Amino acid sequence: MATDLMLDEDGDIAFDGMEVEVGSGKDVVGQRLYLRLSIVQGEWFADLLFGTPYYENILGGKFNPTILNAVFLNVILSTPGVKKLAAPIQYDLNRRTRYLQMNFTVITVSGESLPVTYPPAT
């Protein structure tokens, strides 16, 4: 089962009183997915391949749903703790505001179903 330090809503290490909060299972997988989708590939000095290649494949060009889907599939399926997608990724693109939200459900390596909306609704 996956375990990791949990982050709070500000992205700082979460504490439960005076103890560092350690998560497990699908909470950790969800946090890993959120981080990988939130960080632009090349942005983190410790691992330049971590994150999503937004500049290389998604932003600045004509919208290509095939490339978009391939990039997100690669990021999602290569996230530690993810076994497979339960169904195809659903995209909600607002062309007027240029806002893209995706919904998908992954099956974790422990067999748990984890629905994900990215970016999360505010």
Predicted confidence at residue 2, as pLDDT, reads: 67
- 114, 30 contact by CB (below 8 A): yes
Kindly report the number of other CB atoms within 10 A of residue 96's CB atom: 6
Please count the structural domains in the chain: 1
Predicted confidence at residue 65, as pLDDT, reads: 87
**Whether the predicted pLDDT of 48 surpasses 80:** yes
Predicted confidence at residue 45, as pLDDT, reads: 95
**Whether the predicted pLDDT of 43 surpasses 90:** yes
CATH at residue 108: 3.10.450.40
pLDDT tier at 62, thresholds 50, 70, 90 = confident
Predicted confidence at residue 1, as pLDDT, reads: 62
Predicted confidence at residue 64, as pLDDT, reads: 84
DSSP at 81: T
Share of the chain above pLDDT 70, in %: 98
Range of the domain at 103: 3-118
